Amino acid sequence: MLKINNLSVFYGGIHALKGVSLNVEQGQIVSIIGSNGAGKSTLINSISGIVKYKEGEIFYKGEKLSKQAHKIVKSGICQVPEGRIIFANLTVMENLRMGSFLRSDTNGIDKDLNRIFDLFPILKEREKQVAGTLSGGEQQMLAMGRGLMSNPDLILLDEPSLGLAPLLINTIFDIIIEINNMGKTILLVEQNAFKALSIADYAYVLEQGIITMEGNANELIKNEKIKEAYLGKKNVDFISV
């Protein structure tokens, strides 16, 4: 579904991505793990048209992907950004409606809205509430729901667990699996490597702008280097049992 060839991104003199190549197959959850500053968000932002890349190519469904953000959304790709970035002064319902701004299929929009309320019941309860007054977890659910309102085939999730309590993190990842089961393909950027690998089909390790490792997520989660660098002692002990 998504193919990236030799992508390079510069911020002035800083070489943020250095010839990154990866593939995302239809129906998969593909995770990208790495430490802060590795280039994970830059990669996601390059796909969605927010960051302009200097070198390389991105193909979506076999065709070269536009570099214009609105055309990328219209092609069937949405991004749920790091930090949620909801419209704080609008209501929950208004935020969700904003997600469908490129659509004209009224019946389809209403159907997707009902599906999102089934997926996130708390949003239905708070549909008239100003979004900025929601909790962090509720805002993350709203950001995900807003993305789904564009009716995407591919969802780019950027750090969905950021700033959330452990119990809420588990809830968010359960919902990501549900969304994948709805037929959506997911490219997940996540600093919580254990959770990201636990739900993924395939994964890449990004370090200082370079893909240093890739493979089946079940294999990577057992890799000693991955355990030492990203999973922490508690999770290493759990995996080793």
The band of 239, judged by pLDDT with boundaries at 50, 70 and 90, is very low
| Rounded Cα–Cα distance for residues 123 and 225 (Å) | 40
Q: What is the pLDDT of residue 54?
A: 87
Q: What is the pLDDT of residues 61-80, one digit of tens each?
A: 999 999 999 999 999 999 99
Q: What is the pLDDT of residues 76-111, one digit of tens each?
A: 999 999 989 999 999 999 999 999 999 999 999 999
- The token pair that represents 197 in the structure block: 């690998």
Span 117-126, average pLDDT: 96
Q: What is the pLDDT of residue 235?
A: 47
pLDDT over 80 at 234, yes or no: no
Q: What is the pLDDT of residue 41?
A: 95
At 49 the three-state DSSP class reads coil
Q: Give residues with Cβ within 8 angstroms of 166, minimum separation 6.
A: none
CATH placement of domain 1-76+190-241: 3.40.50.300
pLDDT over 50 at 188, yes or no: yes
Q: What is the pLDDT of residue 95?
A: 98
Q: Minimum mean pLDDT among 34-38, 174-178, 186-190: which range?
A: 34-38
Q: What is the pLDDT of residue 238?
A: 36
Nearest of 35, 63, 65 to residue 53 by alpha carbon: 65
The band of 191, judged by pLDDT with boundaries at 50, 70 and 90, is confident
Q: So where are the chain's domains?
A: 1-76+190-241
pLDDT over 80 at 116, yes or no: yes
